[in-house]
Structure 1
Amino acid sequence: MMNSFDYLIATNFDRAWFNFELDLPLKPGPNGETNPFYIERPCNPINELTDALLAPFYRPPKFFFSGHRGCGKSTELLHLLSNTEIQKKYWPINFNIREETDIIDIDFRDVLLAIGSRLFREYRRKGGNLPDQLLKELNSWKGKVEKEITSVLDGRSEYEIGAAVEAFFLNAGLKMKLEPATRVELRQVIENDITGLIAIINNIVAAIYHQERRIPLVLIDDTDKPDLEKARRIFHDRREIMMQPNCAIVYTVSSALFYSKEFNSIRDQALFLPNINLHPIDDINVNNPDGYATMETFLSVRMEPRLIHPDALELAITYSGGVFRELARIVRTAIGRARRRKAEQIEVADIEWAAQEIRNEYKRILDDEDLQLLKKVQQNKQLEHTERMRTLLQLLALLEYRDQENWCDVHPVLRKML
């Protein structure tokens, strides 16, 4: 396992294989500088989010950030951390909810506990000192929880208070993630005193603000991964509670929520990250120069242009549909084939082979009704708020784009199937 990663342009296929890792996090540099692999996208909605965060506010803002799988949400949240104006105004942290709880069985109480836990732990990790009175309050709250659920007890008493609270948060998070029975118990204890947990979070926030003179900003990744029903329960049914922490928060939310009636409850604070437009809505044979240039830059900052034939480069971009993760997937698969051929350059045949691999995956999961809907959308390009269309959007069999209005088209690799 690699503990660090040097973001260097690849000069050979071995290095390029690393650079196109699908889950490679584009973290800011040690001094907050922008990651070398980060690229600006046309009309980036993250600029709107940045402006909104920098605007004056009465209460710390909450935003609901979404987009389809592979469009770059995680990358944009990490990039937000490197914004100097954001750093001046906020004390920002970013974390993945997968690190704190079971993403398959997630609940609003898990998210709130994770917020409090990460604020406390990150502040201590960065050398911050919280006041003794707050540590005593946290220790008292910790004792109440441990009294109800003995399995959360760490079993050691030699810690000073701050370390004891940190150990409790770590242990509680681990139990939430790995032990379903304890997870149910913890949730019940939190539910019985949800105002107590909110107060704990807000006291931590107030202490950090008092010390840093900056309001904490929490960027939470992968809270968009739960299915629509869980997303509804967290961000619609419990919306008021999720707005209670007295810090700025950006929640990632499921794109399916944007196609449901419950979207109305978050629409004023919602931002959607679309895919990159490669063609106008009415002619797939006309290239959008800005879109192709953006995707080409995505490749050129990761590997030297000589490693891929220009025709193969254009075909890879076309097949990607303007989805960054899909482009990385296609190129990485093509790199594997080129390496096996002992070649020095990715050719068109390598890209076609990668596209066929993706097409074969879809053949296994798409039924006749799916294919009929895909054919229909290929003709009319219209979004419909149906369960089947939501599923196809989640699968990336359909890709959404935005000009003046929203529209969608089939994934380019599927055109040969239709």
Structure 2
Amino acid sequence: MSSELQASFKQAYNNLELFPLVEKKETDNFRVDYGNDSIEKLIQYIEYSPNGDAKIVFTGHRGCGKSSLLAELSRQIEDNYFVVLFSIADSIEMSAVNHINILFAIALNLMSEAEARKVQIPKTTKDKLYGWFTDRTRTTEVELGGGIEVGFDLLKFLKTQLKADAKVREEIKQEFERKISELVERINEIAALIQFTTKKETIVIIDDLDKLDLATVQEIYKNNIKSLFQPNIRIIYTVPIAVMCNTYIWDIIKAESKNLIEVMPVIKIFHKGDNRLPDAQPRSEAINILCEILEKRISRDLIDKSAAEKIVIYSGGVLRELIRLANVCCLICLRLIKQKPGERIAINDQVIEQAIKEIRNELSLRLGKEEFKILKTTYENFEPDDVKQQEFLELLHGLYILEYRDDYTWYDVHPILIETLRRRGLIN
């Protein structure tokens, strides 16, 4: 019995690691119908681009489901467009991302997808493009080795170099710092060749730019947004939700994108202020969606129904936090199975309380007096004193504070941290 239960919890734990949902198999097994409004708006922006070069900005809290939604979007439009979806985290070391290597990654991924889908680009043109890539990265025959042919293997090699080799990234930066137009020309050339052959216009979707630290994001979008928006193709860029609070940068983004912006909201568990009331009832729509997400990953006999709803409430409506809390619960149950062989083990209130305590302690370690002051003010007023304050932006970026939307925007403290505020005597 214990071995079967252990296997079931291990499977649940593995299911909870499959997030975000990018591969079709994962989507078929775990996707829940969610975020359709955002998909429809993004498709509208794509289709209504008069010159086929719309630059669309997609934002929302980290972990709210943007990556899964973008993967679903790409599947829905792939019959009509040549879609290139890639994660900047898979292409470049996150601490080294800048506007130049973002554009270079676009060119590299366009060419790589063209090779993968066997787009019939004339050999002379293709060889010229490969020569351009190797020249600009100073790649030599010795580095390539005898076994690598000009083609898909070369592109894989260059993608590896861009990701792992700081020297290559520096060479690319030096090469194009004053020649952005040449890099943009190559992107346009590759996209034009793809369109000529496939009869489909190109759209590039860059995921995980929203996971960059705020200083890097500000440098990219404040000083170099015009360069990023130069290619004559449709591109979807992701940005952190905290950038919306920076009036100067956000006005630049709105102007350059022609206001083609979609904000993916957090699922609102309670209406504003309801969770401060005794016997408050969460929104049934939110409970149903998030419980369904859990049911697809955890067998019903492994989790009490009331426990599933409790996980939902403590997630704050953020999908990543839902998965994270359930994941920790599975690990606790796996430990209990070893400690109490033969007993019925399931995710119940006691297991959840232990998981919450572990996550609460981990979150609280990184908070100082100024951060606790902001959390207290936000809890009491549903907004901070200053949404542009750097400490508030960092708390928002790190999911310590969550943004919700009704007819207007309001904020609340991550539910797991509210008990910390109580114990410190900051709130009643």
- Partner Cα separation in structure 2 for residue 100 and residue 183 of structure 1: 11
For the 8 Å contact 2:88–2:94, the answer to whether it is kept is yes
Equivalent residue runs for 1:182-331 within 5 Å: 182-260=168-246, 261-267=248-254, 268-284=259-275, 285-331=280-326
CA distance, structure 2, for counterparts of residue 117 and residue 246 of structure 1? 16
Secondary structure in 1 aligned to 2:202?
A: strand
Partner of 1:372: 373
Instruction: State which drifts further: 10-19 or 182-191.
Output: 10-19
TM-score (norm 2): 0.87
Of the structure 1 ranges 304-313 and 350-359, higher mean CA displacement relative to structure 2 is found in 304-313
- Aligned-partner Cα distance in 2 for 1:362–1:152: 49
Which amino acid in structure 1 is aligned with residue 102 of structure 2?
Answer: V
Aligned to 1:68: 61
Instruction: Extract unaligned runs of 5+ from structure 2.
Output: 1-5, 338-343, 422-428
Q: What amino acid sits opposite 1:406 in the alignment?
A: T
Give the C-alpha shift of residue 94 in structure 1. 1.2
Contact 2:55–2:229 (Cα < 8 Å) also in 1: yes
CA distance in 2, matches of 1:290, 1:40: 12
Q: Which residue in the other structure is 1:15 paired with?
A: 11
Deviates more, 1:113-122 or 1:132-141: 132-141
Give the letter aligned to residue 265 of structure 1: I
Q: From 105, 108, 121, give the equivalent of 1:114.
A: 105
Once residues 329 and 269 of structure 2 are traced to their aligned partners in structure 1, the CA distance between those partners, rounded to angstroms, is 21
Aligned to 2:51: 58
Shift of 1:201: 1.0
Change (3 A) 1:115 1:368: same
Deviation of the 1:39 alpha carbon = 1.6
Q: Deviations over 1:252-290 (max 9, x none)?
A: 112222211201122212222121100010211231111
3-state DSSP of counterpart to 1:416:
helix
Structure 1 regions of 5+ residues with no counterpart? Answer: 1-9
Give me the whole-angstrom Cα distance separating, in 2, the residues matched to 1:141 and 1:305: 56
Cα deviation for residue 53 of structure 1 reads 1.6
1:394 corresponds to which of 394, 397, 412: 397
What CA distance in whole angstroms lies between the structure 1 residues aligned with 2:8 and 2:112? 40
Deviations 1:340-389 (A, max 9, x none): 22244211111111111111012211112211221111111025221111
| One-letter identity of the residue aligned with 1:292 | I
Where does residue 362 of structure 2 map in the other structure?
361
Distance in 1 separating the partners of 2:147 and 2:347: 59
Q: Structure 1 residues 73, 24: CA separation in 2 closer, same or farther (over 3 Å shift)?
A: closer
CA distance, structure 2, for counterparts of residue 150 and residue 55 of structure 1: 41
Q: 1:386 to 1:340 in 2, by over 3 A?
A: same
Judge which range, 36-45 or 60-69, deviates more: 36-45
Aligned match of 2:341: none
Corresponding residue to 1:47 among 28, 40, 49: 40
CA distance in 2: counterparts of 1:140 and 1:115, whole angstroms: 17
Q: Deviations over 1:2-61 (max 9, x none)?
A: xxxxxxxx99212111111164533235xxx95331122367423211222233522321
Partner residue of 1:6? none
Distance in 2 between the 1:15 and 1:275 partners? 27
Q: 1:138–1:165: 8 Å Cα contact kept in structure 2?
A: no
Distance in 1 between residues matched to 2:40 and 2:135, nearest whole Å: 43
Give me the whole-angstrom Cα distance separating, in 2, the residues matched to 1:403 and 1:15. Answer: 38
3-state SS, counterpart of residue 311 of structure 1? helix
> What one-letter code is carried by the residue in structure 2 that aligns with 1:368?
K
- Structure 2 counterpart of 1:173, which letter? K
C-alpha separation in 2, matches of 1:242 and 1:373? 34
Deviates more, 1:270-279 or 1:334-343: 334-343
Bigger shift: residues 387-396 or 132-141? 132-141
Of 213-222 and 229-238, more deviation after overlay is shown by 229-238
1:63-212 pair list within 5 angstroms: 63-83=56-76, 86-142=77-133, 144-145=135-136, 149=138, 154-156=143-145, 163-164=149-150, 166-212=152-198
* Cα drift, residue 150 of structure 1: 5.7
> Percent identity, aligned pairs only?
28
Query: Distance in 2 between the 1:324 and 1:216 partners?
Result: 30
Give the corresponding residue for 1:405: 408
Instruction: Give the residue type in structure 2 aligned to 1:290.
Output: E
Report if the CA contact (8 A) 2:62-2:210 is conserved. no
Q: Distance in 1 between matches of 2:55 and 2:393?
A: 25
**Higher alpha-carbon deviation: 226-235 or 71-80:** 226-235
Q: Deviations over 1:299-338 (max 9, x none)?
A: 1122232221112111111110001111111111111112
Secondary structure of the 1:224 match is helix
Letter of the structure 2 residue corresponding to residue 375 of structure 1? K
Measure, in 2, the Cα distance between the counterparts of 1:397 and 1:19: 25
Aligned length: 399
Q: Residue 26 of structure 1 contacts residue 37 of structure 1 at CA under 8 Å; is this kept in 2?
A: no
Deviation at 1:127, TM superposition (A): 2.0
Aligned counterparts of 2:354 and 2:141: Cα–Cα separation in 1: 51
Distance 1:22 1:367 in 2: 33
Measured in 1, the distance between the counterparts of 2:8 and 2:139 equals 55
Matching residue's letter, 2:356? A
Query: Alpha-carbon deviations, 1:162-198, whole Å to 9, x = none?
Result: x525555444433333232332122111224322221
1:34·1:82 contact (CA, 8 Å) conserved in 2? no
Shift of 1:132: 2.9
Tell me the secondary structure at the aligned position of residue 36 of structure 1.
helix
* Contact kept? 1:381, 1:409, Cα under 8 Å: yes
| SS state at 2:263 partner | strand
